[in-house]
Amino acid sequence: MKLRRPLAGLFLLLCLHDPALAAAETLTILHINDFHGALQPTRPAAERPEEGGAARLAALVKAERTPTTLFLAAGDLLQGTNLSNLFAGQPAIEAFNLMGLDASAVGNHEFDNRQPALGERAAAARFPFLAANITGDGPWKPAVILTVGSLRVALFGLTTEETPVATHPRNVKGLVFGDPVATARRLVAELRPQADLIVALTHLGVEEDEKLAAAVPGIDVIVGGHTHTKIEQPETIGGALVLQAYERGVFLGRLDLDVTDGKVTAHRYRLLPVTAAGGEDPAVAALVTGYQQRLCDRMNEPVGTALVDLEGGKEAMRTRETNLGDLVADAMREAAGADVALVNGGTIRAGIPAGPVTRGTIYNALPFDNWLISFAITGKELREALETGVARVEVRDGGFSQVSGMSFTFDPKAPAGSRIVAVSVGGQPLDESHRYVIATHDFLAAGGNGYTVFAGHDPVYNDSGRWLRVVLEDWWRRRGNVAYATDGRIAEVRP
């Protein structure tokens, strides 16, 4: 229906004089979480299209921007790929500077390169890192108030309380991670009189975000991360919209809020896939290409020399002791300060030939993103773990144990579960009631490869931001030249 001209004029006049209609504005929030240094697109499987990538994300952000847009990240921006890790997160900072990121929460993995490096990255960022519940010196702010169009938008950050137990204590020395709900109550009371809208930028996980929304009235939007949850449409809990956009910049979330006099009157939401179809931002593409070239140099950096061939072939790693298995397990035990170490043969994917060893050589041998973790178990549990390791030796199972600090003899012909013939730890017979600290990695610590006996133990060492390959690289650099021979720590009963 067309309005006749005099009526249309009257309608316009009413709009201009109605305070509610006159103050109406739409705020667009673009958001990501858990980017984890995913600067390059990834192809999850051969038959699937590429996903994500900083240059494509940047192009999509540019295309979706309106004059009243905030672009936000919910933490864990920096750590997770060789390309970002080997430059301590700097490429991700530069990419998000080019994208015009407005703010990021502090994720638990922001501490992986230790606090001085986080300080340097934050100083290079043209956006603030936000964390209101971390007490102690750091480069973050509790909150900021940004003016977007005619709206004053308050943003405050919250970081998971699990951070101190999910990373090495040295990474969070001097910091206290407080209760997010109590912190949010205080922040909302302080910020509400100064702002039209309040946005919590959190790295807590979606379940904690839901609790936060229910417990703290006055938050309009929670932009969350940590659990890598794909929320197709935001839930409204206690008046707050709870968002999370999966992981690694594979999706960009877009929330449009219609706001009238400081009240959200309507919202629309889409999860936008980041694909090749949207093109690439040339400046970000050039940045990533530059770092890729520098990454090649970093991968070719010498670490030391192997004075002998180190055996890492699949058949050997899954059936018997090898000198590379010994070496990796010894490096793990040393790094964790544990009594013993156990790593499954399937973790080690390639041998290291005699000659110069580069970073790339080590990364090729240990390609998986597993980290070191240690905990105390009884001697009885240790025996059970070793039984697990040899239970499927005849099918070359990846669970076969390579060990350090202990030796064992097994009979591959005996029934599974009864194959361990003898075990000694530190040269002494295994004491089934004694508690030994064992170093392993996160996959086995969760009960992977059948090592269910490892699950549920309280860790005494947990360094989730430092992959095993980095542990081995550091071990090698301290030694330079390495010659390793098997020493009989794994023996097989032969007829």
Partner 1 sequence: MSLVRIRFNDEERQLAAGLRVRSLLSRDQVVRVQQGELVVLDGKGRERGLDGALTDGLALRLAPRPRG
Angle, CA of 358, 296 and 361, to the nearest 5° = 25
The CA–CA distances, whole Å, from 9 to 15, 20, 349, 389 equal 10, 18, 75, 82
Q: If you ran DSSP here, which 8-state letter would residue 44 be given?
A: S
Taking CB under 8 A as the criterion, the residue among 102, 112, 196, 247 binding partner 1 is 247
Give the C-alpha separation, 34 to 113, whole Å.
Answer: 16
Residue 246 as a binder of partner 1 (CB under 8 A): the answer is: yes
Q: How far is the CB of 466 from partner 1 (least distance, A)?
A: 12
Give the C-alpha separation, 315 to 233, whole Å.
Answer: 48
Which among 24, 26, 29 has a CA at the least distance from the CA of 74? 29
Which among 86, 90, 3, 75 has a CA at the least distance from the CA of 36? 75
Give the C-alpha separation, 294 to 142, whole Å.
Answer: 35
Taking CB under 8 A as the criterion, the residue among 47, 174, 428, 495 binding partner 1 is 47
Q: How far is the CB of 39 from partner 1 (least distance, A)?
A: 16
Q: Is the alpha carbon torsion for 424, 429, 431, 435 positive or negative?
A: negative
CB count, 10 Å around CB of 321? Answer: 25
Bridge partners (DSSP) of residue 272 are 252
The site map against partner 1 for 73-112 (x = CB under 8 A) is -------x---------------------------x----
Taking CB under 8 A as the criterion, the residue among 456, 479, 481, 487 binding partner 1 is 456
Instruction: Indicate the residue among 5 and 48 with the shorter CB distance to partner 1.
Output: 48
Residue 230 as a binder of partner 1 (CB under 8 A): the answer is: yes
Taking CB under 8 A as the criterion, the residue among 464, 466, 468, 471 binding partner 1 is 464
71, containing H or E segment: strand 69-73
Residue 214 as a binder of partner 1 (CB under 8 A): the answer is: no
Q: Which stretch binds partner 1 (CB under 8 A): 189-197, 385-393, 440-448, 474-482?
A: 440-448
Taking CB under 8 A as the criterion, the residue among 118, 219, 342, 373 binding partner 1 is 373
Q: Which stretch binds partner 1 (CB under 8 A): 98-106, 296-304, 306-314, 439-447?
A: 439-447
Residue 462 as a binder of partner 1 (CB under 8 A): the answer is: yes
Q: How far is the CB of 45 from partner 1 (least distance, A)?
A: 4
Q: Which stretch binds partner 1 (CB under 8 A): 20-28, 41-49, 407-415, 471-479?
A: 41-49
Give the C-alpha separation, 418 to 403, whole Å.
Answer: 19
Q: Which stretch binds partner 1 (CB under 8 A): 139-147, 229-237, 261-269, 430-438?
A: 229-237
Angle, CA of 234, 78 and 103, to the nearest 5° = 50
Residue 282 as a binder of partner 1 (CB under 8 A): the answer is: no
- What the block records as the tokens of 223 is 């932009």
Span 109-168, contacts to partner 1 by CB under 8 A: 160-162, 165-167
Residue 375 as a binder of partner 1 (CB under 8 A): the answer is: yes
Taking CB under 8 A as the criterion, the residue among 192, 298, 380, 457 binding partner 1 is 457
Residue 446 as a binder of partner 1 (CB under 8 A): the answer is: yes
Instruction: Indicate the residue among 330 and 442 with the shorter CB distance to partner 1.
Output: 442
Q: How far is the CB of 47 from partner 1 (least distance, A)?
A: 7
Instruction: Indicate the residue among 128 and 345 with the shorter CB distance to partner 1.
Output: 345
Residue 208 as a binder of partner 1 (CB under 8 A): the answer is: yes
Q: How many residues bind partner 1 (CB under 8 A)?
A: 47
Angle, CA of 449, 404 and 386, to the nearest 5° = 40
Give the C-alpha separation, 220 to 197, whole Å.
Answer: 6
Q: If you ran DSSP here, which 8-state letter would residue 178 be given?
A: -
Spatial neighbors of 401 by CB under 8 A, at least 6 apart, are 342, 343, 344, 345, 385, 386, 388, 389, 390, 408, 490
Residue 376 as a binder of partner 1 (CB under 8 A): the answer is: no
Give the C-alpha separation, 438 to 342, whole Å.
Answer: 7
Q: Position of tokens 């309608």? A: 11
Footprint on this chain of partner 1 (rule: CB under 8 A): 34, 36, 44-45, 47-48, 80, 108, 160-162, 165-167, 205-208, 226-232, 246-248, 346, 369, 373, 375, 398, 442-443, 445-449, 455-459, 462, 464
